[in-house]
Structure 1
Amino acid sequence: MATFRFSFGFGLLALLLSLIFALYVPLSANGQSLPPAPPPTSDGTSIDQGIAYVLMMLALALTYLIHSSSIF
């Protein structure tokens, strides 16, 4: 009856091959480069418009408070 004996050389060869494949496979998977980032969707006008709305509401509230406090 024949028995399979695990030798040191076979284990070293298996370890070496597994290290080569572990290092080679991730490098070969990066064949495509990433596309450039898209341009920004806002050029700052929406921020300016939001600030303008807040200032107009503040002016409206101050006007209401000033006119409602004076009784003629």
Structure 2
Amino acid sequence: MAAGLAPLGAVAVAAVLVVGIVMPAAVAAQAPAPAPASDGTSVDQGIAYILMLVALVLTYLIHPLDASSPYRLF
């Protein structure tokens, strides 16, 4: 019965070697994913930051003109 298992063992070893050599090569052959394209959200966020900064500066420039305010910043 041991002689009948020898071809099966050789086929199993060959299959393991083929899978072990071919599968990593197939995985490595895949092209990497392309870099994501910018959809303009960073530009929108930059514009929002600039507008918020302008609003903050205008607030501090206009606020001291309020006559009822006890605080004098300038």
What is the TM-score of this pair, normalised by structure 1?
Answer: 0.50
Question: What TM-score, normalized to structure 2?
Answer: 0.49
User: Higher helix proportion, which one?
Assistant: 2
